[in-house]
Chains A and B, each alone.
Chain A
Amino acid sequence: MARKLSEMEAERIKRKNRANWLLSMPAILLLLFAASGPLLIVIVYSFLTPGNYGGILWEFSGEAWFKVLFAQDIFDDTISLSDAHLSIFWRSVQLSFLTTLICLILGFPTAYFIATRPPKTRNIWLFLITIPFWTNLLIRTFAILELIRNKGVINNSLISLGIINEPINMLYTDMAIVIGMTYVYLPLMVLPIYAAMERFDFRYVEAGFDLYASRFKVMRRIILPIIKPGVIAGSILVFVPSLGAYVTPRILGGGKNLMIGNLIELQFGQGKNWPLGAALAVTMLLIVLLALIFYMRISQRSEQKDAQ
């Protein structure tokens, strides 16, 4: 009898699962066509031969993938690791990581602040957070440029206040790129953390205080673990687009400080090497994947450590 019942339960769950699949079909189809389709094309292109004036020739070639990591000297044909590409990869990862970190440091207290306002004023704060999204990314980036250039608002006011004599050179540096990306992606950090915090029951904080946890311990042992999904989501939402950023490094990094996005664009444009561009794009995807796996590992390990 008990076996029969458990079978019935299994059958019920199966039926429910089938219904769920059916309901999510539109989303699955969309993802399949809009995300997997183009990705497949990019992967296929990366294994083809570049055309003379851009585009591709339908001939298999592994050269693009070779060029991602290696460079062949024009004069003596010696093969070496491609310093140019590797340094751009490395810089992209560094700058994206730095951007994510700064967004987290700025975004966490912001989200905490909003979540602890009375419900009525919370919406006003959220509304303010979303205002930057109303303007075009390009225009916002130029606005930043206007702020940080040598004769820009910041330097001019610092000089007129007598705090500095010479303008601080910020534009066309890595710092400029990080400032720009932080500004652009900060809301993507604040919103998921806020969503997690809003659901957070602040009575847990009282229970923590009651059980002798200091403010720091309450933050580390109670608030952070409970809202961790929000922090992870925010970090991914900032890191991934930062790694692929194109507009910001182009305008604020000024051509010489390239990131992967610019490198890829170069191959499809001036470089006229679509397969290399495609291979670089897939490489970027792999870097994101690796970074995510690494991140998940770390957060899992910290969870285990907490549990001990």
Chain B
Amino acid sequence: MSKTKKDAIAIHVNGVGKYFGSEPNLVKALDNVSIDIRRNEFFTLLGPSGCGKTTLLRLIAGFESPTFGQMLLDNQDITNLPPYHRSVNTVFQSYALFPHLTVAENISFGLEMLKKPKHEISATVDEMLALVHMEELKHRRTDQISGGQQQRVALARALAPKPDVLLLDEPLSALDYKLRRGMQIELKRLQLETGITFIFVTHDQEEALTMSDRIAVMSNGHILQVGTPNEIYYNPQERFVADFIGESNFIEAEVVSVTKGRSATASLRLAGTRKTFKANMPASKSKDKTATVFIRPEHAKLQKSTRGATLTGTLTNMLFFGTDTNYHLELDNGDAFVVRSQNEIGHAFHPAIGDKLGVVIDEQAIQVLKD
């Protein structure tokens, strides 16, 4: 089962754009997007509403053709291939279940179109019904089941033909927490077992971080960054990415000096402090005098005394989250800063609102952003 490196790409999107309408109402739903999605990868598209996630899925499914650019599926040009000739199935954001068919008939539809033998169809339908826990409702019409049940049927219908690529447009959004958790685990198991490439759209960043092999963060029809959940979370390249995923602190810093090695290292001074620290400098910023740095709240530590602290400020608010507490500070220069720390039993340190506190930040936790 060894594959060449070229083989490993399932979907290759090359400089694709999709414009709707015409001037002056031109909508650039996607603008010059390029990504490679690997075979059997769990690939997630993450981004705010209207950033073009559904549009990208629709292009891959073949419901729209791109305004420009090219798409390959398993090294075959599919840019102008009709959807029924692509081994790609979609779980629609709006479900789009056939209203004149029952749950079981919806699931068997794709298999029938592929002219699978009868016994195989009924076996697969039963398997899919069990997977989404819908056995009891198999003879119901789809307009007589709840939204969450419809979503599960949509999932089963798209999975049944075992496509090469499965496109999932917020497939779990209508499910309650427990069912959602269960389905997440099932989906992940399926992806690993079947070898299907999953392209997944979600608004839920926790879902994205726990399930994905890689995540693409999108904004305004562009892909800003593609990386593993770890890279996206710990090394966001741009402010938007850092801001969109998890909580972040942004601080302006002055560039004191830049030493060029294999990668540029800069000596920086945080606004309102005297201490300097070293950090990797993005190549595009090597000539700038100021930079924005980014620090995750959980990478900063609070201490009682301001001596030896990286930053100092006044505690303005505390939010309790069970395992953690968020401490909101107003720094001496007026900026806001959040520290997140784990709650421990018998913790001796109980700051009160209005206290003057110190924040300690490890040099490694400081990341310079491109913008």
Contact = CB atoms under 8 A, between A and B. Distances in A.
Given A206-B61, A207-B92, A209-B84, 16 more contacts: A203-B92, A206-B83, A207-B96, A209-B63, A209-B82, A210-B61, A210-B84, A210-B88, A211-B89, A211-B161, A212-B84, A213-B84, A213-B109, A213-B113, A222-B98, A226-B98
Contacts of A213: 84, 109, 113
Interface in A207-221: 207-214, 217, 221
A305 B99 CA distance: 17
B113 A225 contact: no
A211 B109 contact: yes
A59 interface: no
Interface residues on B, range: 20 to 34
A116 to B, nearest CB: 15
Contact of A203 (B82, B94, B113): B94
Nearest to B62: A209
Nearest to A207: B96
A76 to B, nearest CB: 61
Interface in B158-178: 158, 161
9 contacts: A206-B92, A207-B97, A209-B84, A210-B61, A211-B161, A213-B113, A214-B84, A217-B113, A226-B98
Contacts of B98: 204, 207-208, 222, 226
Interface in A182-203: 201, 203
B31 interface: no
B1 interface: no
Contacts of B157: 211
B161 A204 contact: no
A211 B85 CA distance: 9
A307 interface: yes
Given A203-B92, A206-B63, A207-B92, A212 B100 contact: no
Nearest to A225: B100
Interface of B: 61-63, 82-84, 88-90, 92, 94, 96-100, 105, 109-110, 113-114, 157-158, 161
A219 to B, nearest CB: 13
B325 to A, nearest CB: 46
A211 B61 CA distance: 11
A226 B105 CA distance: 14
A210 B62 CA distance: 8
B149 to A, nearest CB: 17
Contact of A210 (B90, B94, B97): B90
A18 to B, nearest CB: 26
Nearest to A203: B96
Nearest to B157: A211
Nearest to A212: B113
A201 B96 CA distance: 8
Contacts of A212: 84, 110, 113-114, 161
Contacts of B63: 206, 209-210
A182 to B, nearest CB: 30
A290 B206 CA distance: 64
Interface in A97-144: none
Interface string A277-308: 00000000000000000000000000000010
Contacts of B97: 207
Contacts of B90: 207, 210
Interface string A206-247: 111111111001000110011000000000000000000000
A222 B105 CA distance: 12
A204 B110 CA distance: 13
Nearest to B118: A308
Nearest to A307: B105
A213 B101 CA distance: 15
